[in-house]
Copies of this chain bind each other. A is one copy, B any other.
Amino acid sequence: MGRDGIREIGIGMLGYAFMGKAHANAFRKISYLTWPPPLEPRLVAIAGRDEEAVAEAADRYGFARWTTDWRELVRDPEIQLFDNLGPNALHAEPTIAAAEAGRHVVCEKPLGRDAAESHEIWSRVAATGVKHMCAFNYRFVPAVRLARELIEGGELGELRHFRGRYLQDWGDTDADLWRFDRAAAGSGALGDLAAHVVDLARYLVGEIAAVSGFLRTFVPGREVDDAVEATAEFESGAVGTLEATRLALGRRNAFQWEINGTKGSLYFDMERLNELQVFRADGDRARGFKTVLVSEADHPFWEHWWPPGHIVGWGDTFVHELHHFLAAIAADADVGPHGATFEDGYRAAEVCDAIMRSGAEGRREVIEYRTLSEAVAAN
């Protein structure tokens, strides 16, 4: 076996900051940590607004060229995969353009700034037939995938409760971030953090039928929400809460969730992302939650890594995620159900919009999900 035998795929990336670093790192690691890689990522070009910064990023991460005009990426014949890591306002147009130019597309979450824009992206891209993935990377945490497998295996029985909250604490900063700009971001904690909660709720428990809740802005002068509070009802009958805030001092990246079923329970905290707490009502006299260090040979994604107990980091989830997308491209296979498609991105946005409307109108919102056919028909 040799490098020669591995097909290449040209990558074009829009964005070079936090997420740019995370994705570039992942594409580079896929080449040797996952072996053999489904496709060999070739870093063709990177685009960004600041000329000096994007040039340095290209040099640093090993892109062959750079540009300040993302349209060049869309036109570049060496690029087969367009990875959109730009601010939310820059998700729709480049993503759609890339797909319509025949590129497979990855787009950071939230897909659009609201459900309408998200649906537009999904429907336009779906119509092209390319592969698409909305980068909800937390589906690719080994403990989250293990949770999904335990649930699918029936080990929790019927699910009754989901209790999800994404707590960070940097919201009091007065830095001038695009994430605080309504036009650029669409929303604050809602699209940034609550969207992750919604996505994992859907991935692990199922579709959300109704929500009730509200957004709250605490910081004076802030255009977007700092916090989101909601109750949720799932189609399956399960119920729970969805929360997100940038103002929970001491919680740096605490995406915590708990699921209770008729046979067992699970608990997870992203600050200890290698651990899954597992309870089973198996009649054992020594009953209690197990702290499972998700790092065994037969645990998800662990074929890429180290001996048991040698934990992975947050950045490694992108290796799993982008490997999954490359594998789907290589095999012409479905991105879902484990990868979040643009439909998943759209559906998360519908839930987020419903929470916002619920707060504005002071009432429970039953969610109506649009299908693709309307959209495609509408095109």
* Copies of this protein chain in the complex: 4
Chain A positions 222 through 233: 1 when the CB is less than 8 Å from some CB of chain B, otherwise 0: 000001011111
Q: Give the Cβ gap from A18 to chain B, nearest Cβ, in Å.
A: 7
Contact A230 B227 (CB under 8 A): no
| A311: chain B residues within 8 A (beta carbon) | 253, 271, 273, 313-314
Q: Which residue of B lies closest to A305 (CB)?
A: B315
**Interface readout for A101-138 with B: 1 if CB under 8 Å, 0 if not?**
00000000000000000000000000000000000000
CB distance from A314 to the nearest CB of B (A): 4
Residues of B within 8 A of A163 (CB): 165, 243
Residues of B within 8 A of A306 (CB): 18, 21-22, 314-315
User: What's the dominant secondary structure at chain A's contact region?
Assistant: mixed
Residues in B neighbouring A67, C-beta threshold 8 A: none
A250 touches B264 (CB 8 A): yes
How many residues of A are in contact with the other chain, CB < 8 A?
101
**CB-defined contacts of A229 to chain B, threshold 8 Å:** 231-232, 239-241
Interface residues of A in 259-299 (CB under 8 A from B): 260-265, 270-274, 276, 278-279, 281, 285-293, 295-296, 298-299
> Does A254 have its Cβ within 8 Å of any Cβ on chain B?
yes
Whole-angstrom distance from the CB of A305 to the nearest CB of chain B? 7
Pick from B285, B289, B308, B314: contact of A310, CB below 8 A: B314
A286 near B32 with CB under 8 A, answer no
Name A248's contact: one of B250, B260, B308, B362 (CB within 8 Å). Answer: B260
Contacts of A237 in B (CB 8 A): 218
Is there an interface contact between A289 and B290, defined as CB atoms closer than 8 Å? yes
Q: Is A316 among interface residues, defined by CB-CB distance under 8 A?
A: yes
A245 CB to nearest B CB, Å: 6
Given contacts A214-B231, A287-B292, contact A309 B245 (CB under 8 A): no
User: In the complex, what's the smallest C-beta–C-beta distance from A33 to chain B, in angstroms?
Assistant: 7
CB <8 Å contact, A216 and B241:
no
Contacting residues, chain B, for A278 (C-beta < 8 A): 286, 288
Q: Compute how far the CA of A3 lies from the CA of B271 in the bound complex, rounded to whole angstroms.
A: 35
Among B261, B288, B314, contact of A290 (Cβ-Cβ < 8 Å): B288
A25 within 8 A of B: yes
A292 contact set on B, CB distance < 8 A:
286-288
- The answer to whether A288 and B250 have CB atoms under 8 Å apart is yes
Residue of B nearest to A282 (CB): B284
* Shortest beta-carbon distance from A50 to chain B in Å: 14
Name the contact of A32 in the complex, choosing from B24, B279, B307, B358 (C-beta under 8 A): B24
A305 contact set on B, CB distance < 8 A: 315
**How distant is the Cα of A250 from the Cα of B127 in the complex, in angstroms?**
46
Which of A59, A150, A250 is the most central at the interface, judged by chain B CB atoms within 10 Å of its CB?
A250
Residues of chain B within 8 A (CB-CB) of A32 are 24-25, 28, 60-62
A271-B311, A279-B249, A306-B18 known; A286-B293 Cβ under 8 A: no
Instruction: A36-B60, A170-B307, A231-B241 given; name 6 further pairs at CB < 8 Å.
Output: A18-B307, A29-B29, A229-B241, A253-B309, A273-B311, A363-B364
Task: Give 5 nearest A-B pairs by CB, closest first.
Answer: A252-B309, A253-B309, A250-B279, A313-B313, A362-B364
Interchain residue pairs with CB less than 8 A apart (27):
A2-B59, A21-B33, A22-B306, A28-B28, A28-B29, A31-B62, A161-B227, A161-B248, A163-B165, A163-B243, A212-B364, A229-B231, A248-B258, A249-B260, A249-B265, A249-B279, A249-B281, A250-B265, A250-B288, A285-B298, A285-B299, A287-B296, A288-B290, A305-B315, A306-B315, A310-B315, A311-B313
